[in-house]
Amino acid sequence: MDFGVLFNPFSGGGKARDFREFLKQKLLNSDKKFLWVETKKAGDGTEITEFFLKKGIKKILVCGGDGTVNECAAALVKENSDAHIFILPLGIGNDFVRSLKLGSEPKKLLDVFLKDKYEIKSVDCGKINGKIFVNNLGIGFDGAVVKLAENMRKSKDPYSKAAMRKIMFYKGFKAKVRIDGKLKANEDLLLLVISNGEYYGRGIKITPGAKIDDGFFNILIVENTGFVKRLPLFYSVKKEKHLKKNEFKFFKGKEIEVDFFEKSVDCHTDGLYLTLSDITKVSLMRKKLKIAYSLKGEKK
């Protein structure tokens, strides 16, 4: 078997389904042997990847968004597998792909994949409460936005719409944040972003300079503020001018500990929603995931 196809038909609000028949015909017309398995519900990506690994498959074509990549990565990291993934970005955000050097056009990427014209790179991952993330996690405002956006997936740009609603009503959360053992925040916060990659929110460069293989997280802490101030901050992020704002505090580190004073705080890992409480630890896992990163012959 040459590779496994992990296909999420729910990705991209119909984008993946529209691409499915083209992809199937392209693969069937090739000389490759493959297994095609589709997800039916959240979490299936991990189980499907485990199935591929049991079959001895070392190459997985992940067709979906950041959440699908997350589920596949969770299985690979858990099994400490030397298998690698190649991403066909068919989701809404596709932010992790932006940190790779392969481009983001699915049809062109499919040709690269079938012709084996790519290099593989080992990249870092993050871990929080036993869950893996490959791109970033957001605690607070970002988590609340993801929760609301899940109910708006059929609309155009659900994340931006959800953000505009939450920016008026989100109350913030109280927490202590330690980075590599040093206290960096003890206040009411609007959000905490811990990033492996640079991008989130459909291409916003939230943590400029972040690298997916440098052994560090890029961390953003934003203190809570009233609605009147939130809108300018929101638009500064959209326009990537937030580096100059005092409300945005940037750090680098490997271990983050967050002590919550709330019963429940919203969070997401690569766009997958979860809730947090008590003391939460986030740790970096160095070069745990193998991924198609750049074209062959290209400087890395």
Please indicate, yes or no, if residue 10 is contained in any of the structural domains. Answer: yes
pLDDT tens digits along 140-149: 999 999 999 8
Report residue 24: phi and psi, to 5°: -60, -45
Band (pLDDT 50/70/90 cuts) for residue 8 is very high
pLDDT tens digits along 64-79: 999 999 999 999 999 9
The separation between the first and the last C-alpha atoms of the chain, rounded to the nearest angstrom, is 29
- Pair 217, 176 in one domain: yes
Please indicate, yes or no, if residue 259 is contained in any of the structural domains. Answer: yes
Rounded CA separation 33/29 (Å) = 11
Q: Average pLDDT in the 104-111 region?
A: 96
- In the three-class reduction of DSSP (H, G, I as helix; E, B as strand; rest coil), residue 147 is classed as helix
Rounded CA separation 59/299 (Å) = 23
**Structure tokens that stand for 26 in this block:** 């392209």
Domain end among 96, 118, 140? 118
Stated pTM of the model: 0.93
**Structure tokens that stand for 18 in this block:** 């529209």
Residue 156 lies in domain:
131-286
pLDDT of residue 239: 81
- Pair 47, 179 in one domain: no
Please indicate, yes or no, if residue 291 is contained in any of the structural domains. Answer: no
Q: To which residue do tokens 């983001």 refer?
A: 104
pLDDT of residue 68: 97
Lowest mean pLDDT among 162-166, 172-176, 181-185, 266-270: 162-166
Q: How many structural domains is the chain composed of?
A: 2
**Structure tokens that stand for 166 in this block:** 């939450």
- Pair 161, 197 in one domain: yes
Q: Which CATH number characterizes residue 17's domain?
A: 3.40.50.10330
Q: Average pLDDT in the 213-217 region?
A: 97
Band (pLDDT 50/70/90 cuts) for residue 87 is very high
Q: Average pLDDT in the 112-135 region?
A: 96
- Pair 107, 146 in one domain: no
| Beta-ladder partners of 6 | 37, 62
- Pair 182, 252 in one domain: yes
Rounded CA separation 47/30 (Å) = 27
pLDDT of residue 299: 65
